[in-house]
Structure 1
Amino acid sequence: MGRGRGRGIRQRVRRARAAWNTVDVNASAAGSAAQGPAVLLLWSLARMAGDPYGVGYGGALLLLPCVCVLGYVMLPVLGLIHVAVHIGPGWLLGRAVAARARSGRQHAWAWHLLGTTVVGAGWAVVLAVLCGWPFATTAAVCAALAAVPVLWAAQARRRARVFTAPRGPVALWGTSLLASFGLALLAFGVAGVASVTGLGPFKEYEPPELSAAQVAGVWRGEDGAVLRLRPDGRADATRLTAEPSYSDSDDREYVVCDGTGHWSFVTEGRDRVLVRVGGGCGEETEWTVIGTERRPELFLFVGDPDAGDLRVLRRD
């Protein structure tokens, strides 16, 4: 009984592989490649909007020339990889479930979407375990990334039935190239509207509004730095990064200070804590307030904006 059922499953898988031909692979890969620039653009803009430290812009701007020169060379390869690990397995799963449910061929694209959604959820589990990404958001993104390739392949199959011949690879990938520009422009417009209206991940980060009393306390960094801000304006520092003295002949980007000094709280513009450690240990240094009201942070960025050092202090 079990052997006969296993044989039936293998036969359905073989029929699904036969139905999933070169035309479907090329069409799915072209659809996946077409959405690549839009996905990269949305990811970059969302990361820039949500960057509380304001240090991600330089890297993103440097990435744009690389995308223009190398992006359209790599997109077909990435599209094929996407088909191999996501779209193709989703097709096999969808065909197997459709055969089990005895669904007609007119619903093949819907079963394909269902299969890719399940496969995407499996990859979301892997990414949640290995990278700590949120499962629900990752699964939703995987499902969305599969929609265009699946519908593109369905359109290619329908056109092949109507015109009795599939589109050639030049026409297929040429359409993908043109569609990628259109999708990128659409993504840029959507991100712009979302940024203005403050919706979704494109909402610009807003730092918390704290008082001097809320800032007072002990702040610690991952590198062993400790900054104690006393309510009376005194400051105690251990291994604290500070701006070097203007008369420093070593032309150093920063110094590490131990000692006592004073601090003040400035609310003009972004809230900042000005710290000056005595004993000739550098100049007055601005630590900018970020984080949230429940979990505030202080940060200092020293050096080149594209390759500098970020220092973060968190409240005890």
Structure 2
Amino acid sequence: MGWDNTGQESAGDDPPGDRPGGDFEPFVDLNAAAAVCAAQLPAIGLIWWIGTELGDDYGGSPYGLFLLLALACLLVVAPLVLPFVGLAHAVVQIVPADHLARLASRHVRGPVWAWHLVSIPVLGAAWAALAAVLWDWPFVITALLLTALGVLPALGLAYLRRRTRITGRPRGFWGVWLPSLFASVTLFLLVFVGGVLGTVTGLVKDYEPPRLTADELTGVWRGEDGAALRLRPGGRAELAELPTESESGDWLAEPPFAVCEGAGTWFLSREGRRDGVVVRLDGGCGRQTRWTIGGTELDPELFVLFGDPDAGDLRILKRG
């Protein structure tokens, strides 16, 4: 990797040892890329947290164990972890995309930073395809997220290179990580203030679960480990490997539910804060279980939180 950001490298360029960074240039680039990647992570984490708070909480307590652990991670662990996460991001996406950008700039005119931005979605799509094959992640959403995560580091790396060309020497370790710290705090505060203003002005709406009719609920709902619930018109239900409230109702049991199958009945319940589907199995397996309606109008879900509301076992059913 070089520091020339025009893409017009020629035989008359200075040898690598005479350029800013010299023989250590690849390590200087990697350090700068890792610092820029790490700078955006707290703000991204806050955006994710705001999104989860505005989304379905699946009946969990807003002051549960997860939130306490998240705050502890933010205050104590995050400053130690962020540099390594930023380095990992730089290694798997930012630096390889930079290599592709420099390869393209040797054959097609244009600044390296522009080709870097073009290469970011290429690497994002490659990793999204791998994640889709290995872990069944949604390809389009994953590719878009990885692309968004790479834009700011690519622009930040281009800025640091430009500053290096102007000053004639690369920034040292603290020369990139201290600005990364200040940028991280600034981005975090901007997202925080934006979230507060959006909530106060009403631009950010609280989550509203969908209101479904009995006819809209009929059909097959599937979950993990082969769980399936078929809701038939007229109130009949068929269960297969479906988690159900255990006979004992013991929160501390492991697991805190029974796995049942067979036939039963169901009805739409509009009692309480949220609508739900009450399923009762014919026979002696488990007890009557209320599956709460969640998700969205276009992608509805049924869920139950078994055990402790603060750290229970969440089971979700989606349209089969």
Q: TM-score, normalised by structure 2?
A: 0.70
1:133-192, CA deviations, whole angstroms, 9 ceiling, x for partnerless residues? 333332222222122222222222222222223333223211111211111222334455
Q: Which residue of 2 aligns with 1:36?
A: 41
> How many residues align structurally?
296
Whose Rg is larger? 1
Residue 94 (structure 1) aligns with: 101
**AA at the equivalent of 1:39:** I
Q: Does 1:197 align with 2:190?
A: no
Deviation at 1:279, TM superposition (A): 10
- Which residue number corresponds to residue 162 of structure 2? 158
Matches within 5 A, 1:164-243: 164-191=168-195, 196-197=202-203, 204-211=206-213, 241-242=244-245
Q: Contact 1:221–1:314 (CA<8 Å) still a contact in 2?
A: yes
Q: Which moved more, 1:221-230 or 1:176-185?
A: 221-230
Mapped to 2, the partners of 1:102 and 1:273 lie a distance apart of 61
Asked whether 1:24 is paired with 2:29, we answer yes
Q: Secondary structure at the match of 1:301?
A: strand
Give the distance between the partners of 1:92 and 1:219, measured in 2 at CA.
46
What's the CA shift for 1:306? 3.7
The answer on 1:83 being equivalent to 2:86 is no
Contact 1:264 1:275 in 2 (8 A): no
Q: Which amino acid aligns with 1:142?
A: L
Q: TM-score, normalised by structure 1?
A: 0.70
Which deviates further from its counterpart, 158-167 or 259-268? 259-268
| Helix, strand or coil at the partner of 2:84 | helix
Q: Provide the identity percentage.
A: 43
Q: Give the structure 2 partner of residue 303 of structure 1.
A: 307
Partner of residue 6, structure 1: none
**Cα distance in 1 for residues equivalent to 2:191 and 2:243:** 43
Structure-2 change in CA distance of 1:205 and 1:21 (3 Å): same
- Aligned residues of 2:218 and 2:230 also touching (Cα < 8 A): no
Q: Is 2:145 the partner of 1:141?
A: yes
Distance 1:33 1:217, change over 3 A: closer
CA distance in 1, matches of 2:220, 2:146: 42
| Structure having the larger proportion of residues in helix | 1
The answer on whether the counterparts of 2:220 and 2:228 sit within 8 Å (CA) in structure 1 is no
Q: Secondary structure at the match of 2:106?
A: helix
Please tell me whether the aligned partners of residues 52 and 207 of structure 1 are also in contact (alpha carbons under 8 angstroms): no
For the 8 Å contact 2:56–2:209, the answer to whether it is kept is no
User: 1:245 and 1:206, CA in 2 relative to 1: closer, same or farther beyond 3 A?
Assistant: same
Report the alpha carbon displacement of residue 124 of structure 1 after superposing the two structures with TM: 2.0
- Aligned match for 1:128, one of 132, 148, 155: 132
- What amino acid maps onto 1:64 in structure 2? L
Q: Does 1:74 align with 2:81?
A: yes
Residue pair 2:275, 2:293 contacting (<8 A) in 1 also:
yes
| Corresponding residue number in structure 2 for 1:271 | 275
Q: Could you list the per-position Cα deviations for residues 91-128 of structure 1 after superposition, in whole angstroms to 9, with x for gaps in the alignment?
A: 1111111011244xxx2211222223322222122122
Secondary structure of 2:107's match? helix
Partner of 2:70: 63
Cα distance change of structure 1 residues 54 and 269 upon mapping to structure 2, 3 Å threshold = closer
